[in-house]
Copies of this chain bind each other. A is one copy, B any other.
Amino acid sequence: MARCCRRLTADIAGEFLASVDTFLFDCDGVLWNHQDATPGAVETLDKLRNLNKKVFFVTNNSTKSRADYVKKCLQLGFHAEEDEIICTAFVAAQYLKSILPANSKVYVMGMPGMLQELDKAGIRHIGSGPDVIHGTITEWVQTELDPEVNCVLLGFDENISYLKVMKAASYARRKGAFFVATNEDNELPMDGPIVIPGTGVVVAAVKTAAARDPIVVGKPHHPMFDMIAKSFNVEPDRTVMVGDRLNTDIMWANNCGLHSIMVLTGIATLEEAQHLMTSNSIEHQKQIPEFYLDKIGDLEEFLN
């Protein structure tokens, strides 16, 4: 795809939109900000559906299940079916189901939404909830590990603790252990002076202790799109990803051969995207979007 960060304007939009039949939308920063839909987003999605375009909600957030996201969409006025929700809790559970031997057991760092997806996929798991260290190193080395655990799954976990990192790293070091993470976003997008750490913090802590990198299923990595392509018969070159983050959404589109539209209602700015076009780094080049729009609602007028 041509990566020139060009504004999607009326004169080129018609032909471009006719050439794609699947629309993948990042959620926070694109369709909504916190509890408010972005202007025109609901109407744009309705219109795409009327034109028989496929629509998917694609998010790295690992704290919610697909059922949770359907509820959230309906609350904000979006029509959504569970099959259209591609969240990392779901993708990770499906990915594990596809690679793990029968009767595997997963040590998981994650919130209830992720546990629900694991339960639905029939995957046994331990590790959720608070787990705090006591005693001294002499006792720590006596920590009992579950002999059945053959996999570690890392997602967002507000209960991150020294003991949980110790257990996750110890399981991940086991011979033949599977090691998977939902995503590596370093923070959640919030205004103000408080940095809200993202799943990337959990992943950084455990992979440092384990001295081993996990397979990451979420954007910008392949497994999330592989699942969409396989389950819904989606063609990369007839698919467009709409996102607000260059190093996840747009890089994912470029990694997977999708068209891309950046919107300016979330994390990244137009200046950041334009600055990447001056870089020699391949990592930077992969973050340049094909098109941009001020907001997703601007697409609506092109759909008449």
Binding site for B on A (CB under 8 A): 130, 132-133, 137, 140-143, 145, 157-162, 165-166, 169-170, 173-174, 186-188, 190, 192-198, 200-211
Contact = CB atoms under 8 A, between A and B. Distances in A.
Contacts of A142: 194
Number of copies: 2
- A-side interface mostly: mixed
B209 A205 contact: no
A201 B137 contact: no
Nearest to A162: B158
Contacts of A170: 193-195
Given A188-B137, A208-B200, A209-B201, A166 B195 contact: yes
A166 B137 CA distance: 26
Nearest to A186: B208
Question: Which of A130, A157, A195 counts the most B-chain CB atoms under 10 A from its CB?
Answer: A195
A141 B130 CA distance: 21
A112 to B, nearest CB: 13
A23 B94 CA distance: 56
A292 B206 CA distance: 32
B158 A194 contact: no
A197 B162 contact: yes
A203 B205 CA distance: 8
Given A160-B165, A188-B137, A201 B208 contact: yes
11 contacts: A141-B190, A145-B193, A160-B160, A173-B193, A174-B193, A186-B209, A187-B209, A201-B206, A204-B205, A204-B207, A204-B208
Nearest to A136: B158
Contact of A194 (B132, B140, B157, B198): B140
A260 B80 CA distance: 64
A219 B166 CA distance: 23
A159 B160 CA distance: 10
B195 A173 contact: yes
A194 B211 contact: no
Contacts of A132: 130
Contacts of A198: 209
Contacts of A209: 186-187, 195, 197-198, 200-201
Nearest to A185: B208
Contacts of A140: 194, 196
Given A141-B190, A197-B205, 13 more contacts: A145-B193, A160-B165, A160-B205, A162-B197, A165-B197, A166-B195, A169-B187, A173-B193, A174-B193, A186-B208, A186-B209, A197-B208, A198-B209
Question: Which of A140, A174, A186, A201 counts the most B-chain CB atoms under 10 A from its CB?
Answer: A201
Nearest to A210: B195
Nearest to A35: B138
